[in-house]
Structure 1
Amino acid sequence: MTVDLIAVVPRNSRGRGVQRYYDAQSECAFFVSEPSGQPELWHRYLDGARDVYRRFGVEQALEYDAVADGASTSLFFAALNADGDMVAGTRIQGPYTDARQAHALVEWAGRAGADDLRRMIADRIPYGVIEAKGAWVARDAAHRAELGAAISRTVLHGARLLGARYGLATVASFTVPRHEACGAMPAERIPAVPYPDERYRTVPLWWDTRGYSAFAEESQRFSTQAEQDALGLTAVRPLDARCGAGRAAESRRGHGR
């Protein structure tokens, strides 16, 4: 079923600064905006995130009061189904000008791997680094797996839209395969940390807008390109993978260093 992308925009939204695309796998329309450009969608995103995080007992990780005014968010993505219900979302911070701006360093503060992670971020700052935070998928949403993949792809879209090469996110370790399918790579030598509490093992992941296609699943490469076409983003020149599996493996290792 194709969603009418205009019909699901809130009637009292300011209607400026919004971009959109459709994901056929999840059957959802994705809207992209600054918080100030779509204030109703922004607050619906926040309410949905708080509900999901609260259900899992990790509401503190959302830092609702600190982010609710939208000042720390450069862009947010909101997925609406055919009925206009918001069923998933995420927000993007950056591009950063200093590694110390990354929230990931708060999560690793005083823990093994903190210095290596800071160096990784600092090394990428000249090429552009954004960070995805507050990702969620409604527990009762249809096509939850497809929505999870679509949310992972938003890290690549957010980086491209903000002129950055790299996307960073910290995720629960059990979700890593989902993100790897979309081209993400775990940061090497960075031990998992118990964040936001002891029930979870959280790891940092990198998305490289130039390198992801060398090892993302074919279906995810196709979806990523189709969505970026819809967003008006021109194709980027990928890293050279002409030398076959050996070169791809080399790129894969370097991607997470």
Structure 2
Amino acid sequence: MARAYGGALLFSFPLLMTMEMWSLGVSVEPVRLLIFLIVSAPILLGLSYFAGFEPTFQLKDEVLDALAAFGVGCVLSAILLWLFGVLEQHPTPRHAVGKIALCAIPAALGALLASKQMGERDEAAMRRAEGCGPWGDIFLMAVGATALAFNVAPTEEMILIAYQMDAGQALILMSVSIGLLHAFVYSLGFPGEARRREAGGFLRTFVSFTAPGYGVALLCSLYLLWTFGRTDGVALHEIAAMTIVLGFPASLGAATARLVI
């Protein structure tokens, strides 16, 4: 548990000290926050299977680990937000719960990934991650995309960058995101690369891993923008631009997911 709290702190403190997260904890609609927590549940459950506190062999153990990680995230978020004086700005229970719940999910991800962050990795987790199959790869890319994109999705800079870019720059950014994603999954020597090379070479890897990975990154980006209310009352082309901008860090997260998980 001490390692879990350490991992949660390392993973979440940039968000806990970000003003936009504090305001979103107040302004985000309760329904969207509830949906966000519900969507996060299978992510935490899957992470518990691939990189939890300890090797588990039953669904009950995975659920308990996921709940423990969420509890760690809630406790750590509540303590630090109180210490920073954030909870006192809006002392009503609803606003306090919103701030804590929003910050608890990235902290919970860090708690589950604590073993990897702290330099330890059990062989069972490595075998599970290596033999997860194509759907497991998609899941891991989605987790990586969400984890990295979450660090910048609440900020106003995503909207500003999207506003400053023209259509040509947006297309170039998409190309750069796809190119980096493909380079990371195919040619930079990261975990799982040998299996992907054996699966059919450069083109097969692009079709089987890169294209789905970038699609997942865009979907995760769009969902985060919707959750934080960035898409409300915004034209479709502006939503597309913001999604492409956030898709850049999301694609890097998808590409490097196996470095963390």
Greater length-normalized contact order (CA 8 Å, ≥ 6 residues apart): 2
Of structures 1 and 2, the larger Rg is shown by: 2
The structure with the largest helix share of the pair is: 2
Above 0.5 in TM-score? no
Provide TM-score, normalisation by structure 1. Answer: 0.27
The structure with the largest strand share of the pair is: 1
